[in-house]
Homo-oligomer: A and B are copies of this chain.
Amino acid sequence: MHTRRYHHGDLRAALLTRAEQTLREKGPGALSLRELARDLGVSHAAPSRHFKDKQALLDALALAGFERLDEALSASRDAAGEAFTDRLRGFVRAYVDFARANAELLDLMYTIKHGPAASEALIAAGQRLGAMAGELVAEGQRSGEVREGPVDSIAMPVFTTLHGFASFAVSGVLSAEEATSGFDAVFAYILRGCGPS
């Protein structure tokens, strides 16, 4: 009864934080606006001030996921050395690690359910990731470690492999052990796929 009241405008942030926590711990099916409101000590109608819809909250969650993935990939790039293969390897690693550490969130990010309003922002976020892959490929072309040709026609398949591997790891098609032991094979295959001649 003496719980915080959240008149400060941080209810929105609190809802997102808590939602991601229950998504991670109990899965997407357990996400309920009413329970979120209960957990935060707020009336069940309060969330509607910040998210017009349950879908709107899910959209915001997915968008936050893209932003964090973006940061993780940027960080991996900044941490890498000069060598192209190291940089590419770090990029792949960062994506796969994020996927495995945020399985439910990744599932949500790439789910089909997003409303057309949010899809725009989500697709833009996805394209930012694709652009990062494109920069990496362009670097590789300049150093001669990636074959000539339109950047997108190389970066798209590379990114696609990356995502497929992460998706298989997340959905359980690959077990945790297979995902770990298969990384090198996937990376070697990616190098072959984009390498010269």
Contacts and interface: CB of A to CB of B under 8 A. Distances in A.
A194 B170 CA distance: 24
Interface stretch (A8-16, A74-82, A153-161): A153-161
Given A163-B167, A192-B192, A156 B126 contact: no
Interface in A33-86: 55
Interface residues of A, number: 46
A144 interface: no
A3 interface: no
A54 B157 CA distance: 37
A141 to B, nearest CB: 15
A167 B178 CA distance: 20
Residue of A130, A152, A160, A164 contacting most chain B CB atoms (<10 Å): A160
Interface of A: 27-29, 55, 103-104, 107, 110-113, 119, 123, 126-127, 130, 152-154, 156-165, 167-168, 170-174, 178, 182, 185-186, 189-190, 192-195
